[in-house]
Every structure is written in C-alpha cells, then in structure tokens.
Copies of this chain bind each other. A is one copy, B any other.
C-alpha cells in the first residue's frame, strides 16, 4: 500500500489529523531513562506505543538522532512502528535536496535504509533535485513551502514575477509548481506552518486536496482552530497537524507516555471539534 493510501486509511481509522513528531532530546527524558544506553529508542518507542491509535502519522526528525550517532536507533524505531502499528505511515523529517546523482543516494537513505514511507524535501535546488523522490510513486514527497519559523519571510515571502508576468509570493509559486508540475504521481505533500494561517488558506486554494503537513501548533504557538478552518480539504481531512515537544515532554516524570497519550488525545479532540 502506498503512502497516500496509508494516510487516507489512518485519517479514517483513527479519526485523527494528528502527526506526532519524534524529536528526542535526552536532557528532557525522565530520570529513569537517563542512564539507559538505549534511552533514545526506548523513549520514542514508548511514545509511539502510547499514541499510535490516536495519530495519522509519526514524524521522526533525523538531526535529533544524527547529532548523537543514533542512526541505528532510528532504523529500529521505524521498524518498530511498521511491525507494531502497521498502517501508520512514517514521515522522515530530513529536509533533503541535492543535485541528481546525490538526490538518488538521499532517496536510498530515507526509503531503503530507514524504510520511511515519506520524507520532507527542500525545493530550492529545483525539480531534478527531488526527482528521485517523486519517482518513488509509493512514497510521499513532502516539499517545504511556507515554514513556521520567523526567517521563513526572508525568501519564501518574496514577491516573484512568473513567466506570464503575474506576481505572487515565492511560497505560492512553490505550491503551484508542485501541484501542477511535480505531482504527476500524486505523491506530493507540502509543509505549511501553523503560525501563518492566512498563508495556509492561500496554499489550500492553490493545491486543491493535496495533503498539508502543518508544524507549529503547541510549543510554537499556532492556533488549532485557524489551522483547521484554513487548511482542511473539501473532505474535512487533508491535514497532518504535527506536534512534537508538547506531546513528547508533556510530563518529565515516569508517567511521560501516559501524559503524551493525554496530550495527543486532547490535540486530536481539539482539532476534531473544529472540523
């Protein structure tokens, strides 16, 4: 089953638009895990097991593993999700993108080595830099469009002139280009931050029903109601609303997994009240 089918099924089965981001920060782990040499895997697996029936996807962020040489823990974690919670897609948050031959190696890393179902990509290098990802029709290609950070304004909000002489912002150009030209296999998604709800509405108008990955609720302050109203598709889905720290570190005590479940449930229900 391809990524898009997995996602559709997970939206329906779990009645959830929540994506839990797996960003392990050992200094925030509960005391019981501090001296555990396998703490990164155990912490993340406990979060996964506590929330898998409440989410539409998991999103491990690769830098949190790579900074400490924990690639093997990341591989095991993704294998654990596939084995224990089949049907919940895994989006590897890696923001890759490079010229042709190297992009193929990055695709191999994400899909073959790690077994991810989708990966986040940076569009700055253009189409050929993401083509090896687009070509994997059963995998999701999640292109950065309008990110949730303040610096997103530096490039993404610039006014650009298109070939026909019309003007629009760079993120709108990216949305239109991905929707019209890069999505031949129907496997593209876009990243649009929750902190800019008007831009989210803009992107939704441009891309039709394409799924949008929306980080920035919770710790970054994005408003859930505005995200759902402005970002949902005609079917009332079309969103993966991603939360990491607010779920992972809901409790610093031994009850961290239960607290994560409570936080994921509260987010799911808050979202569903606005759908």
Q: Could you tell me which residues of chain A, from 91 to 116, have a CB within 8 Å of some CB in chain B?
A: 95-103, 105-106, 108-109, 112-113
Which of B66, B155, B174 lies in contact with A109, CB distance below 8 A? Answer: B66
How many angstroms between the C-alpha atoms of A228 and B60 in the bound complex? 43
Does A221 have its Cβ within 8 Å of any Cβ on chain B? no
Q: What are the residues of chain B within 8 A of A66 when measuring CB–CB?
A: 71, 105-106, 109, 113
Q: Mark A150-173, 1 if CB is under 8 A from B, else 0.
A: 111111101111100001001001
A64, A154, A170 — most chain B CB neighbours (10 Å): A154
How many angstroms between the C-alpha atoms of A33 and B86 in the bound complex? 40
Q: A23-B102, A66-B113, A109-B66 given as contacts; is B126 within 8 A of A149 (CB)?
A: yes
Asked if A109 and B144 make an inter-chain contact with CB atoms under 8 angstroms apart, the answer reads no
Q: What are the residues of chain B within 8 A of A152 when measuring CB–CB?
A: 125-126
Q: What are the residues of chain B within 8 A of A158 when measuring CB–CB?
A: 160-162, 170, 173
Q: Could you tell me which residues of chain A, from 3 to 59, have a CB within 8 Å of some CB in chain B?
A: 23
Does A187 have its Cβ within 8 Å of any Cβ on chain B? no
Q: How many copies does the complex hold?
A: 2
Asked if B67 and A105 make an inter-chain contact with CB atoms under 8 angstroms apart, the answer reads yes
Asked if B68 and A71 make an inter-chain contact with CB atoms under 8 angstroms apart, the answer reads no
Asked if A102 and B155 make an inter-chain contact with CB atoms under 8 angstroms apart, the answer reads no
Closest CB of chain B to A144's CB: distance in Å?
A: 6
Asked if B129 and A155 make an inter-chain contact with CB atoms under 8 angstroms apart, the answer reads no
Asked if A155 and B170 make an inter-chain contact with CB atoms under 8 angstroms apart, the answer reads yes
Which of B67, B105, B162 lies in contact with A106, CB distance below 8 A? Answer: B67
Q: What are the residues of chain B within 8 A of A71 when measuring CB–CB?
A: 66, 69, 71
User: Which residue on B lies nearest to A151, using beta carbons?
Assistant: B126
Closest CB of chain B to A220's CB: distance in Å?
A: 8
Q: What are the residues of chain B within 8 A of A63 when measuring CB–CB?
A: 96, 98, 102-103, 105-106, 109
Q: What are the residues of chain B within 8 A of A128 when measuring CB–CB?
A: 149-151
